[in-house]
A and B are shown apart, each in its own frame.
Chain A
Amino acid sequence: MLKLKRNLVNRRIAGVLVICTTLGIGATFGLSRKVSALDVVTAPIQVFTHPCSNWLRYKVASAFCYTQKHTYTYSRDKGYGAMDLVMFLVGLPFMILDEKTNTTVLDVQALLDQGYTEQEILSYKADLEFVDKESLTRKVTSEDQAINLLDELMDAGKLAPITVEIMGI
């Protein structure tokens, strides 16, 4: 009887573990979509601001503080994620020169060294803050909305050429 009870308890624990794992994976995928969407709008802003000090505003900002991630363009290609493993296996014998998995930093000095002027950099900073404000006003919650917003601002001529050039809008 005791053994039966133990088995039942073990089964329940196993069941809870399976459910938790499933929910955890689901939550992770859910979160990654949100991170991706936020990334489009907020990532470049972090170059000049301090989002990590404002947890309520960005919630997941710690994932990309002072970094500009380059994954969001890939996430638009349907089915790309499923090929990651195959790609990894195919790439095993080689040193593939793709920076997809890493993050890069953008700072003022790097822009100055590449020939951008201080005035342009200030315009870029102003644009990032403007995009940030607009995204909050319009309650941008998805990647598509973020992309639409950027396209709309560019078409309306509200973004400086440096912003369009660097952000790829």
Chain B
Amino acid sequence: MRPFLGLLVALYSFSAFGGERVCVLSFFKKGSKEQAKVEKVFRKHSEILLIQAPAFSETSDCFTGNFDEIVWASHGTLTGATRPYITPVHIDRDSSKSSLFYRRFFDNLAKKLPDHPIHLRVTYCGADDERYPNTMSPLWDEVRAKGGTVEFSPPLRLASKLLGKSVTNLSKSWLSKSLRK
């Protein structure tokens, strides 16, 4: 009886709010402060599909689904042996091991984007740093080409100045902008 009631409630809330309209991709280690922060902001909102440490395939599903808005929260890094580039960091859900997203992934993702416009909100260090190539830029270009928008979390100005590259933080207020008003 209980599972049936749970299903009923889920169906009701789904229809009442018009389904999940926002997909939140949170690439942080299990038990980390970052993961807890994202969880705290989004967990009680039925219109949000929150995926913690998503696999590459789940990330892809989020972009190819019917979402109006996608939030990307992860670490970012400046890498490259002789020609530096910026890329977000992937976390494996089971092992918590970090790996990097490479350009091919975003090239493929850009090709699979649905035709409706998406509002993509991105927070990781260096995402908006135009001095270096970014592996995620093919995806941003395609989102914009399809009438969507890409929004970056504001950088920490003093820290960015000291480091000589753009750094940002995981801000609760910035994340909360994706909640239904």
Contact = CB atoms under 8 A, between A and B. Distances in A.
B37 A87 contact: no
A29 interface: no
Interface residues of A, number: 43
Given A97-B168, A167-B81, A105 B98 contact: yes
Given A73-B79, A165-B104, A96 B162 contact: no
A167 B125 contact: no
Interface in A92-119: 94-100, 102-107, 110-111, 113-116
A9 B77 CA distance: 51
B57 to A, nearest CB: 7
B97 interface: yes
Given A91-B156, A94-B169, A168-B81, A99 B75 contact: yes
Contacts, number: 130
Contact of B82 (A94, A110, A151): A151
Residue among A102, A113, A151 facing the most chain B CB atoms (10 A cut-off): A113
Interface in B129-159: 156, 158-159
A168 B163 contact: no
A154 B83 CA distance: 12
B74 interface: yes
A86 interface: yes
A2 interface: no
A45 to B, nearest CB: 12
Interface residues of B, number: 46
B34 interface: yes
A48 interface: no
Contacts of B98: 99, 102-105
A90 interface: yes
A99 B74 CA distance: 9
B121 to A, nearest CB: 14
A80 B163 CA distance: 7
Contacts of A72: 81
B169 A113 contact: no
Interface stretch (B10-18, B42-50, B62-70, B84-92): B84-92
B108 interface: yes
B170 to A, nearest CB: 4
Interface of B: 33-34, 37, 55-57, 73-85, 89-90, 97-105, 107-108, 123-126, 156, 158-159, 162-164, 167-170
Given A96-B168, A104-B100, A168-B81, 14 more contacts: A44-B81, A73-B78, A95-B34, A95-B170, A97-B123, A98-B163, A102-B75, A104-B89, A104-B98, A104-B99, A113-B56, A115-B105, A165-B104, A168-B85
Top 3 nearest A-B pairs (CB, nearest first) are A168-B80, A94-B169, A114-B105
11 contacts: A40-B81, A70-B79, A87-B163, A94-B156, A94-B170, A95-B34, A96-B168, A97-B34, A97-B76, A111-B102, A168-B83
